Amino acid sequence: MTTVATVQWDPYDSGLAADPYPTYRRLREEAPLYYNEEHDFYALSRYSDCEQGLPDWDNYRSGRGMVLEIIKSGFEIPPGTLIMEDPPVHTIHRRLLVKVFTPRRIGALEPKVREFCARALDPYRGRDQFDLMEALGGELPMRVIGMLLGIPEADQASVRDHVGKSISIDDGSGMDVNNAALLSGDIYGDYIDWRRDHPGDDLMTELLHTEFEDENGVRRALTRDEVLGYVTILSGAGNETTGRLVGWIGSALAAHPDQRQELVDDPALIPNAVEEVLRYEPPSMVIARTVHRDAEWHGTTVPAGAALLFVVGSANRDDRRYPHADAFDIHREVGQHLTLGLGAHYCLGAALARLQGRIATQELLTRFPRWDVDWQNAKMAQTSTVRGWETLPLLIR
């Protein structure tokens, strides 16, 4: 049953964000269905509950948003906002994007990603310290998304800064969605208009020129607003989550130098190590849904229309699923963690995130096999949608 428990969890509390895992453990044990009266949401924190609920799109809908602030605002989701759509529209739009987001295109990016990592890290050879987020975490995802979408390199930093500003919060409050900056897509309008007349070998061009059969059986091209929606979500999600992943790789390996040395000695372990980082420190801790019809969880009815948060950051640390879940272990059989979602809304960019995480780790370890973190000067970014480092100074040994 829902517990009016002594445990309290506020997703906007930056103090809890610094280390949420003790609170998550208490949620799992004391209030597996948690209700927060102040912000009016329910939350599920156990792996089995999240595993059951996340794929059930019919009962737990995305069409009103997948971020709590957007759900509570009642904001009308723009067309083409794939991660905030429900079937059948979501199915049609996702199928369209899968056709252009192919393994061939992702694989073709590998040499470019490696070249960028080398260019970004080489200037720091011989130095005794540098900020990993400034050098790589804040740069790599932006460059890769720019390559995919066809955004000129000179403009990519402004796109990244726009996204970062739109999701930042003040302590104790959520993201400001009044002007819907995160979803407006206005910053991409000129690129889309230019690409319509100047096609290239990029995702934006394919979105503009491909045809599909929509939910009404009409064969057509995407509208300009739909293309804006696609591009906005792809660039925002791709920039923020993958950038945080790079930072968590840096801090997790600093905290576990013996395991880092294993990766130096045997780089074949790196892909599984990246998977363990994704489980251990997920860049996105929460996936929000709207309850479509009354649902029963732990003896309590969650009413239709309620906001329900699946706390995947807690689920990934559930000892019922992962023995010694609070331990970082690059040899763990990770299997299906929930960081990238589950079911119809499983992260479309999962392969791209893994590619960047693997190459960033390889190139970092090749140049800097040993480092510590200057924890006094490390700073956590303050957002309610992603969790990770704003600055992560590495002390090279």
Share of the chain above pLDDT 70, in %: 89
Asked if residue 276 lies in contact with residue 334, where contact means CB atoms within 8 angstroms, the answer is yes
Is 75 a residue whose pLDDT tops 70? yes
Write the pLDDT tens digit of every residue in 222-271: 888 888 888 887 777 777 789 999 999 999 999 999 999 999 999 999 99
**242 to 70, 110, 272, 393: CA distances (angstroms):** 22, 15, 16, 18
Residues 6+ apart with CB under 8 A from 218: none
CATH of range 14-396; options 3.20.20.150, 1.10.630.10, 3.40.50.2300, 3.40.30.10 = 1.10.630.10
Torsion, Cα 104 106 109 111, to 10 degrees, reads -80
Scored b (16 or more CB within 10 A) or e, 338-371 reads: bbbbbebbebbbeebbbbbbbbbbbbbbeebeeb
Q: To the nearest whole number, what is the mean pLDDT of the chain?
A: 88
The amino acid present at 282, given as its one-letter code, is P
Residue 282 pLDDT more than 80? yes
Q: Cα–Cα distances in Å, from 51 out to 67, 83, 209?
A: 18, 18, 37
Per-residue model confidence (pLDDT) at position 196: 87
Given this model, what pLDDT does residue 162 score? 52
Which region among 131-135, 138-142, 337-341 has the lowest average model confidence (pLDDT)? 138-142
CB-based contact 282:325 (threshold 8 Å): no
Q: Which residues contact 142 (CB under 8 A, 6 or more apart)?
A: 156, 157, 159, 160, 239, 243
Q: What sign does the dihedral 342-346-351-356 (CA atoms) show?
A: negative
CA dihedral 46, 72, 37, 10 (to 10 degrees): 60
pLDDT at 197 over 80: yes
pLDDT for res 157: 60
Is the CB of residue 148 less than 8 Å from the CB of residue 203? yes
At residue 362 the predicted structure's pLDDT band, cuts being 50, 70 and 90, is: very high
Burial call 169-206: b when 16+ CB within 10 Å, e when fewer: beeeebbbbeebbbbbbebbeebbeebeeeeeebbbbb
302 to 25, 54, 162, 289, 294: CA distances (angstroms): 22, 15, 36, 12, 6
Tokens of 247: 């930072």
Residue 309 predicted with pLDDT over 90: yes
The rounded distance, in Å, linking the Cα atoms of 82 and 232 is 10
Nearest to 202 by CA among 247, 235, 165: 235
Q: What local confidence, expressed as pLDDT, does residue 160 receive?
A: 56
Per-residue pLDDT of 289-300, as tens digits, reads 999 999 999 999
Using the predicted structure, report yes or no on whether residue 181 has a pLDDT greater than 50.
no
Greater confidence (241 vs 152) lies with: 241
Residue 83 has pLDDT above 90, yes or no: no
Q: Closest Cα to residue 121, out of 379, 281, 361, 354?
A: 361
- Output the pLDDT for position 143: 87
First-residue to last-residue Cα distance in the chain: 52
CB-based contact 348:94 (threshold 8 Å): yes
Domain ranges of the chain: 14-396
> What HEC string does 69-110 produce?
HHHHHCCCCCCCCHHHCCCCHHHHHHHHHHHHCCHHHHHHCH
DSSP 186: G
Average pLDDT over residues 129-136: 97
Whether residue 195 is predicted with pLDDT greater than 90 in this model: the reply is no
pLDDT at 177: 58
Q: Is 235 exposed, middle or buried (0-12, 13-18, 19+ CB in 10 A)?
A: buried
- Max alpha carbon distance in the chain (Å)? 62
The rounded distance, in Å, linking the Cα atoms of 289 and 310 is 8
The predicted pLDDT at position 163 comes to 55
Rounded Cα gap, residues 348 and 183, in angstroms: 18
- When pLDDT is averaged across residues 355-359 and rounded to a whole number, the result is 97
Split at pLDDT 50, 70, 90, the class of 169 is very low
pLDDT digits 0-9 by tens, 89-128: 999 988 888 876 788 888 889 999 999 999 999 999 999 9
CA–centroid distance for 237 within its chain: 6
| CB-based contact 128:395 (threshold 8 Å) | yes
The predicted model gives 1-12 an average pLDDT of: 74
Which residues are within 8 A (CB) of 15 and not within 5 positions of it... i.e. 6 or more apart? none
Determine the pLDDT at residue 384: 74
Model confidence pLDDT, tens digit, residues 203-220: 888 888 888 898 889 999
Q: What does the pLDDT average to over 125-133? A: 96
Q: What is the mean pLDDT of residues 317-335?
A: 98
